[in-house]
Amino acid sequence: LTQDELKKIAAYKAVEYVESGMVLGLGTGSTARHAVDRIGELLRQGKLKNIVGVPTSKATHEQALKLGIPLSDLDSHPRLDLAIDGADEVDPALNLVKGRGGSLLREKMVEGVCKKFIVIVDESKMVAHLGGSGLALPVEVVPFCWKFTAERLQGMFEHAGCVAKLRTDNAESSELPYVTDNGNYIVDLYLERELGDLNVASDKMLRLAGVVEHGMFLEMATTLIVAGELGVCVKNK
Ligand code: DER
């Protein structure tokens, strides 16, 4: 099975938890895309009714619009029944790294107010500890003096061998900064060693005035669905 087939299996399994009448948080990324497609398909077939979707990015908003999924936002729906979204890393306690797709702020806003938050991944996302994959831990920062903020973040996690890099918009040119849906930049943190207490690390980052939000989603997921070569595993918090 290809990685995308595994992502689709996990996504379709998660949509089994969607009931008619629900207000849903619609995730962002290549795994969540399959879940949004499936929700649109079930609505079209009449197997799901009266669904309202709250998208976590402009990209998901566009996708859901094309599928005819009725859309709203947090202003109208400050509480949601269920969110389904992917992740970049999942640790044994269901803590997540998200944001490699650039949507961490809206994802965290939406997924922070859901009664249930189902994370859908292929098995390659499972890690022993966050930051362990050697891939980026994204931090959304304001454009104003982003370099100052990046250097403060790098120094803050020196013990973990942290290197902070501004994410560039490779679609345009490798020079231009990537700009999020909210007009901010992303500083990616690359770690060589464990961060230690994740809550302490989270608080330290959020205390920096130039930081808007970071990609660690701690104690937010309620259910994990992992698709692997041996099948699909559902793990509740
Ligand atoms: O960027 C994001 O937050 C995405 O949800 C990411 O965490 C998972 O993206 P993927 O499903 O394309 O791997």
Please give the ipTM for the structure prediction.
Answer: 0.98
Strand 216-217 to 80-85 pairing:
unpaired
Whether 108 lines ligand 1, by a CB cut-off of 6 Å, is no
Whether 103 lines ligand 1, by a CB cut-off of 6 Å, is yes
Shortest-distance Cα residue to atom 7 of ligand 1: 87
Q: Taking CA 13 as the corner, what is the angle to CA 113 and CA 15, rounded to the nearest 5 degrees?
A: 45
Distance 28 CA to ligand 1 centre (A): 6
- Nearest to 47, CA basis, from 12, 89, 71, 82: 12
- DSSP annotation string for 135-156: S-EEEEE-STTHHHHHHHHHHH
Whether 101 lines ligand 1, by a CB cut-off of 6 Å, is yes
pLDDT digits (tens, 9 = 90+) for 136-157: 999 999 999 999 999 999 999 9
Instruction: Output the pLDDT for position 46.
Output: 98
Whether 106 lines ligand 1, by a CB cut-off of 6 Å, is no
Active-site choice (5, 19, 41, 107)? 107
Distance 87 CA to ligand 1 centre (A): 5
pLDDT digits (tens, 9 = 90+) for 221-233: 999 999 999 999 9
CA distance 107 to 104: 5
CA distance 78 to 137: 28
| Amino acid making up residue 175 | E
- Nearest to 155, CA basis, from 147, 2, 231: 147
- Is residue 107 among the annotated active site residues? yes
Instruction: Output the pLDDT for position 131.
Output: 85
- Nearest to 18, CA basis, from 50, 44, 45: 50
Averaged pLDDT, 171-195? 92
Q: Hey, which bits of 93-230 come out as E strands?
A: 96-97, 114-122, 137-141, 163-166, 185-190, 211-214, 216-217, 223-228
Q: Which of 100, 111, 133 to mutate to test the pocket of ligand 1 (most atoms within 8 A of CB)?
A: 100
73 Cβ contact partners less than 8 Å away, ≥ 6 residues apart: 54
